[in-house]
Amino acid sequence: MTAPFWEKSYPEGVKWALDIQPKPIWSILDEAVAKFAPKPFLEFMGKKLTYAAASDLVDRAAKGFQALGVGPGVHVGLFLPNTPHYPILFFGILKAGGRVVNYSPLDAERELRYKIEDSQTDIICTLDLNALYPNIAKMLGSTRLKKVVVGGLPDVLPFPKNFLFPLLKGKEIANVPKDDRHVRFSDLVANDGRYTPHAVKNPADEVAILQYTGGTTGVPKGAMLTHGNITATVQMYCSWTAQNKALNLTDGEERALMVLPMFHIYGLSAVLLRMMVLGAEMVLHPRFDLQAVIQDLHKKKITIFPGVPTMYAAIIGLKNIKDYDLSALKFCASGGAPLPVEVQDKFEELTGHKMIEGWGMTETSPAGTQTVYGGQRRRGSCGLPLPGITMEIVDVEDPLKVLGIGERGEICIKGPNVMKGYWNKPEATEEAFAGGRFHTGDVGYIDEDGYIFIVDRKKDMILSGGFNVYPRNIEEAIYEHPSVEECTVIGVPDQYRGQSAKAFIKLKPGAPSFDFEALKSFLKDKLGKHEMPVAMEIREALPKTLIGKLSKKELVEEEKKKYEAAQKAAG
């Protein structure tokens, strides 16, 4: 196969034609154990679990799941934060032959109920915490859910009996009934680990994970990710960094900070599974707490830190950042949302560490693009298509019309990492794969060297007085203001233009404030008249998703309600 034109921009030694071997996902664990058995795999609150010990618990969990009837066609949910239970149960379900359904611990009751029924989840796994278990208890008897596997912190690491999960801030452990609908994690793994191996005949076709996405418009859709999708993604990531001598990564010696949630595709594929190939020790954080993160980066000599833009924005906002020793860092990556140029520049200036940025989606497992570590930097680009991936730009109005270099349109992607389709949604699947390529919903362009530039989400684009206005352009300009820590821009109803842009801003701690006229003056030479915001709000905090991405949907809903109320009042 002829290599695409962007291969010329790849790091030295990296080729686009990658010999991808579809495998069962658990092969990543088995291969890691063969190489790194006595090495630490996870560290959680000062306690460590080796690769060998984790593998033994996985096999025991697999046998326990099979005793509960888990096998091909059985869907098991994970309703878990970042604790050692997650990887043990994740691999245990897959080795038993079941499918994993990932749930967010912040899912509201209505969303939980919908996902359980839609995904046909029969068993769900959670922890015996008041912040988690009661939400699942409501589902027993009112949904198809049949059993709950309930874990506790002492199950996997030697915590004292009175140890409480720090996130609870003193709240008590939940009261879990003792009946046949509840299975304690300790009972699930109380066996010899001799499970019946599940044969994956076609890893590229067999669905391993249902990963829900797209809840911002309509109901969430379950992306069917196969064993082959996930293992292809990991091989793509590995090929990108393996040849890069500038990174100086050493198998079995690296320590990664795992603050991204493992139930999210970014944390799962790009961090957990990728780090296992490297034999890295993963220091687990249940959520992003700035002080806890900066302390661990400093004291535990973290060498790899994957995050999202808001995490890096918080770090550079620390007034005493110079008091922390971050010299052990080798590899800092940002994903999940576009990385503002100003945030990247400031982080690199303060720490002396280069960053790489990537783009991907739940539907792409999430491999897509990566920038080159230490290589040529294109400001505003999310990088080059990874090996084995083909990306094209199509007309927004005509999804079958492929556009040329530099032309703006919808970004499409093809490759072994792209999902099989949406669970039980054939029409949505057909629409998403129009023309034989997956339509991402992102608007952007590709330059003459193969660098991808994302302008915005198609659904976020503002149509103002006949002009296409892209919120990201406005956000990038606002981020240049020295007082701004975070900002997001949405389209609000405008009787004259149809829609206009409104900016929501969070200031840096202690930074001087400014009014709307001052903002417009600052932006005058940076934006066109059609792009200039018509309103601004400064807030103490902006809404975010669980992984820390700024979220627009809450603001859009607020503005919609305001507009409707004003219209009603006006008669």
Query: Residue 54 half-sphere exposure, CB side, CA atoms within 13 Å?
Result: 30
Q: What is the pLDDT of residue 523?
A: 94
Write the Ramachandran bin of 351: left for phi over 0, alpha for psi from -120 to 50, otherwise beta: alpha
CATH superfamily of 5-21+230-457: ANL, N-terminal domain (3.40.50.12780)
- Of the two residues 533 and 166, the one the predictor is more confident about is 533
Q: What is the mean pLDDT of residues 54-70?
A: 98
Domain with CATH 3.40.50.12780 in the chain: 5-21+230-457
**What local confidence, expressed as pLDDT, does residue 447 receive?**
97
pLDDT average, residue stretch 71-82: 97
pLDDT above 80 for 385: yes
Q: What is the pTM of this model?
A: 0.85
Residues 307-332: tens digit of each pLDDT: 988 899 899 989 899 999 999 999 99
Is 460 a residue whose pLDDT tops 50?
yes
CATH number for the region 29-199 comes to 3.40.50.980
Share of the chain above pLDDT 90, in %: 71
495 pLDDT exceeds 90? no
pLDDT at position 218 is 58
Confidence of residue 217 (pLDDT cuts 50, 70, 90): very low
Region 203-221 average pLDDT: 82
Residues in the chain: 571
CATH 3.30.300.30 location in the chain: 461-569
**If you average pLDDT over residues 52-77, what whole number do you get?**
98
Structure tokens at 256: 């990664």
Among 182-191, 335-344, 433-442, the least confident range: 335-344
Q: Which residue has the higher pLDDT, 74 or 349?
A: 74
Distance (Å, whole) CA 256 – CA 233: 19
Q: What per-residue confidence (pLDDT) applies to 192?
A: 98
Residue 169: what pLDDT? 47
In this model, does residue 380 exceed pLDDT 50? yes
Percentage of the chain surpassing pLDDT 70? Answer: 95
State the pLDDT at residue 458.
76
Pairing of strands 467-469, 484-494: unpaired
| pLDDT score of 373 | 86
Span 378-390, mean pLDDT?
Answer: 93
Most confident stretch, 270-279, 321-330, 537-546? 270-279
CB contact at 8 A, 144 and 123? no
Range in 84-98, 222-236, 286-300, 518-532 with the lowest mean pLDDT: 518-532
How far is it, in rounded angstroms, from Cα 179 to Cα 521? Answer: 66
Phi, psi for residue 276 in degrees, rounded to 5: -65, -35
Per-residue pLDDT, 466: 61
Spatial distance between the Cα atoms of 474 and 212, rounded to a whole number of angstroms:
30
Q: Which residues of 120-151 are buried (b: 16+ CB within 10 A; e: fewer)?
A: bbbbbbbbbbebbbebbbebbeebebebbbbb
pLDDT (average), residues 384-408: 95
What is the model's pLDDT at position 214?
Answer: 64
**Is 123 in contact with 149 (CB distance < 8 Å)?**
yes
Strands 281-284 and 355-359: unpaired
Asked if pLDDT for residue 216 goes beyond 60, the answer is no
Mean pLDDT of the chain: 91
Handedness of CA 497, 533, 544, 224 (dihedral sign): positive
> Which CATH number is correct for 461-569, 3.40.50.300, 2.60.40.60, 3.20.20.70, 3.30.300.30?
3.30.300.30
Bridge pairing between strands 452-457 and 438-446:
antiparallel
Question: What is the DSSP pairing of strand 75-79 with strand 255-258?
Answer: unpaired
C-alpha 64/C-alpha 58 separation (Å) is 10
Q: What's the pLDDT band for 166 if we cut at 50, 70, 90?
A: low
Q: Where in the chain is the domain with CATH 3.40.50.980?
A: 29-199
Confidence of residue 160 (pLDDT cuts 50, 70, 90): low
CB–CB of 227/203 below 8 Å?
yes
One-character DSSP codes across 465-501 = TTEEE-HHHHHHHHHTSTTEEEEEEEEEEETTTEEEE
Categorize the per-residue pLDDT at 173 as very low, low, confident or very high, splitting at 50, 70 and 90: confident
